[in-house]
Amino acid sequence: AVDDATLSSVTSESRVVAFPWRGGAGEIRCVDSPGLGDSGGRDSRHVSGLADLLQRDVKYVHAFVVVLNSQEPRVTCHLKEMLLLFGSMFGEGYLRHVLLCFTRWEYDKRAKKKRVRTGMSELRLAELMNQELRKLLGHDFDCPCVFLDNNVNSCTEEELEDEFEDEAEAVKREFEDELGKVHEFMLGTKPFLCQDVKSITTEKDALKHKVLQLIQVVNEEALGRRLICAESGVIHRGWLRWRRRWVFGVLRRQHLRLFADEESTEPTGPKEVDLTGCICSTGSEWQLLHGRFPAFTVYRPVNVQGAARSYFCHVFQVRTEEERQRWVLLAQEATQISESCHRIEKFHGGLRAAAGRAEYERAMDIVAAETMVIPVEWLLQQVDSKNRKPTLQQAMKDLQRDRVVVDGVDFHCPLGDDLAAHICDQVLEAAGRPAEEHAEVKASVIARDVLLGCSRTQGGGDTFDAVQLLFGSNDQGLVLCKPDAPTEPILV
């Protein structure tokens, strides 16, 4: 069972509850078991406990009642996992004992007329859900269905009279009829014997254990750069000859970094060339003197505002003329400040130059009626964010007090390994479950990057720095205050 208010597991252990059916028509035993997708990450333990309870105490089962909300009739990822897991535990025969119970099914005339308009009758809903289950589980028969209005059972006679008036007796009869179908199903079904129930580890928990190990030991800087082709912000990469030795260059917007080889994580040579305000050309005296390889030049002719250094000049060589043309073209592109960066820089300059409130408000008019996009590349040029990069441990700690929605699946204060396992599974599913050696390692690196990206230690820090930089560094007496509003979930 799950508490809808907190989205946390209410039932922590499987237990047997016995009570008389409707006050006297024989005793009924119900097994209350924790659902899968447990907020504490204890799925395998719960499955093992359920298997032990069924074998030791219960012995046999007449009905597996699958409870569904009729107002949101869908097979959720947790229900799907549970049904597949039960198939592994009980075998395919258990499906003959499954009863689908749709709750929140109102019986009054108004609700029935609404269902006629929408075309969602009992028969239609049962047909649609059984089609989905047959497709998922592979059986060739329909599971019987019942439709219950929970409120009828929880209301007193007076409350029913007040709510339904002259329909109260008809509503109660319909509820009793539907509830009677549950009793008839149990009495008319041969018991399912539980002696062969298997205690198994859920596939999700097995994957979670593996992913948790991988994301903590995989060095994605050293290993991931070979396995993961997509690297954020990279415009071009390749071998360059610099000062009579070959180095591996990685070109990003406004930056060129040089490494000893493709796998190195520590830069070499000038480490990082700030391309702000630079010019890239094919002309070079170096090639006239050392004409063995085609060469190009990267230089900054004058002091440029925002650049880390003033004048400099670097000469690089490549193996072919085609490579040189490609490097020059892409390096010229990388030296350009993006339109959004240029716009923010202009806006920032206007705020800083404001001599009084009137000028400040005129500068603010530029963004008063529109959404302002602040490029991260511009922010990182203005502030030192190296010490704020979160560790994996910090990111996992942040997530436990946050809400994350991954492809529509809501995770409320998730454990980091649960979220990582879900992301890893989604990545492998999208890739068609590849059999290659490093598939799970690749997916784990992506999952780790997502966890780090979800951390508000970094994202929130970037946002505060941007606002502080734009509006807090002025003489207009402005004070930045955090709004008292609910935080939107992180969307992945």
**Structural domain includes residue 246:** yes
Mean pLDDT of the region 407-426: 81
Q: Are residues 110 and 34 in the same domain?
A: yes
Mean pLDDT of the region 6-13: 49
Q: Are residues 63 and 130 in the same domain?
A: yes
Buried b (16+ CB within 10 A) or exposed e, 313-348: ebbbbbeeeebbeebbebbbebbebeeebebbbebb
**Structural domain includes residue 484:** no
Mean pLDDT of the region 343-358: 76
pLDDT band at 198; cut points 50, 70, 90: low
Q: Are residues 154 and 258 in the same domain?
A: no
In whole angstroms, how large is the CA radius of gyration of the chain?
32
**At 82, which CATH number?**
3.40.50.300
Q: Are residues 104 and 179 in the same domain?
A: yes
54 neighbors 110 (Cβ within 8 angstroms):
no
Q: Are residues 169 and 250 in the same domain?
A: no
- C-alpha to C-alpha distance for 190 and 168, rounded to whole angstroms: 36
Long-range contacts of 465-473 (CB under 8 A, 24+ apart): 465/379, 465/383, 465/385, 466/374, 466/379, 469/348, 469/379, 469/382, 469/383, 470/344, 470/347, 470/348, 470/351, 470/374, 471/351, 473/352
**Structural domain includes residue 105:** yes
Those residues with Cβ within 8 angstroms of residue 463's Cβ, 6 or more apart along the chain or in another chain: none
Which tens digit of pLDDT belongs to each residue from 259-271? 888 877 788 777 6
Those residues with Cβ within 8 angstroms of residue 236's Cβ, 6 or more apart along the chain or in another chain: 249, 251, 326, 327, 330, 331
Q: Are residues 33 and 145 in the same domain?
A: yes
pLDDT band at 387; cut points 50, 70, 90: low
* Last residue within a domain, chosen from 292, 307, 338: 338
pLDDT band at 129; cut points 50, 70, 90: very high
Q: Are residues 279 and 187 in the same domain?
A: no
The pLDDT score that the predictor gives to residue 240 is 92
236 neighbors 251 (Cβ within 8 angstroms):
yes
The pLDDT score that the predictor gives to residue 125 is 92
Instruction: Tell me which residue of 346, 258, 254 sits closest to 308, measured CA to CA.
Output: 254
232 neighbors 101 (Cβ within 8 angstroms):
no
**Structural domain includes residue 203:** no
**Structural domain includes residue 391:** no
The pLDDT score that the predictor gives to residue 431 is 84
* Last residue within a domain, chosen from 293, 321, 338: 338
**At 320, which CATH number?**
2.30.29.30
* Last residue within a domain, chosen from 163, 195, 227: 195
**Structural domain includes residue 274:** yes
Which tens digit of pLDDT belongs to each residue from 447-471? 888 888 887 776 666 777 777 777 7
Q: Are residues 256 and 305 in the same domain?
A: yes
- pLDDT averaged over every residue in the chain: 76
Q: Is 114 helix (H, G, I), strand (E, B) or coil?
A: helix
The residue among 280 and 309 whose pLDDT is bigger is 280
pLDDT band at 352; cut points 50, 70, 90: confident
Cα angle 429, 434, 435; round to 5: 140
**Structural domain includes residue 468:** no
Long-range contacts of 130-137 (CB under 8 A, 24+ apart): 130/100, 132/75, 133/75, 133/83, 136/75, 136/80, 136/83, 136/84, 137/83, 137/84, 137/87, 137/95
Residue 26 domain boundaries? 15-195
Q: Are residues 188 and 241 in the same domain?
A: no
- C-alpha to C-alpha distance for 2 and 10, rounded to whole angstroms: 5
Q: Are residues 72 and 152 in the same domain?
A: yes
Helix axes 456-467, 392-399, angle to 10 degrees: 90
Q: Are residues 190 and 260 in the same domain?
A: no
The residue among 58 and 46 whose pLDDT is bigger is 58
Give the count of domains, the chain: 2
The residue written with tokens 């093992």 in the block is 48
* 209 has a pLDDT exceeding 70: no
Q: Are residues 185 and 256 in the same domain?
A: no
* 241 has a pLDDT exceeding 60: yes
**Structural domain includes residue 476:** no
Which tens digit of pLDDT belongs to each residue from 431-444? 888 887 678 877 88
